C-alpha cells in the first residue's frame, strides 16, 4: 500500500428527495467505515463525514459541498481521494475497487 487514502462522505440530515427508502448519509458513513475496516484490516485510511449545509472551514470541502447542492447530486456522495465513487446508494464493490487501486488488499 502506497499511502493512507482519504474517504469523504458528503450528505445531510434530511434524506435527498430521491433517496426516501435508503439509509441516511450519517448511517451510510458509519456503515462504510465498518465495511472498509473489515475488508482491509490493519490498513489505515481516513474517513470523514461532511454535512453539505454546514461544511468545515476547509475550502475544498466547502466548495464540493456547494457543488453537491448546486448540481442536485444524490447524497450521500462518496469520494475517495477527491474521486466520486458513489452517489445516493453507494456500492461496496465500486468502493472496494477504488481502494484497491491505491494498493489496499482484501483480508
pLDDT in tens, the chain (107 residues): 557 999 999 999 877 666 677 788 999 999 999 999 999 999 999 999 999 999 999 999 999 999 999 998 988 999 999 999 999 889 999 999 999 999 999 98
Do 62 and 49 touch, CB atoms closer than 8 A? no
Beta pairing, strands 45-51 & 5-11: parallel
Domain ranges of the chain: 5-95
pLDDT at 13: 85
User: What are the residues whose beta carbons fall under 8 Å from the beta carbon of 37, sequence distance 6 or more?
Assistant: none
Its CATH architecture, for the domain 5-95, is 3-Layer(aba) Sandwich (3.40)
pLDDT at 17: 67
pTM: predicted TM-score of the whole model, two decimal places:
0.91
Amino acid at each position: 500500500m502506497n499511502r493512507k487514502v482519504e474517504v469523504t462522505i458528503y450528505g445531510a440530515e434530511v434524506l435527498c428527495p430521491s433517496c426516501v427508502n435508503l439509509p441516511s448519509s450519517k448511517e451510510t458513513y458509519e456503515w462504510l467505515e465498518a465495511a472498509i475496516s473489515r475488508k482491509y484490516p490493519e490498513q489505515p485510511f481516513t474517513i470523514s463525514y461532511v454535512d453539505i449545509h454546514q461544511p468545515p472551514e476547509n475550502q475544498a470541502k466547502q466548495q464540493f459541498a456547494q457543488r453537491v447542492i448546486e448540481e442536485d447530486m444524490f447524497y450521500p456522495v462518496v469520494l475517495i481521494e477527491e474521486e466520486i465513487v458513489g452517489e445516493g446508494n453507494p456500492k461496496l464493490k465500486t468502493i472496494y475497487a477504488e481502494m484497491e487501486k491505491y494498493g489496499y488488499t482484501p483480508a
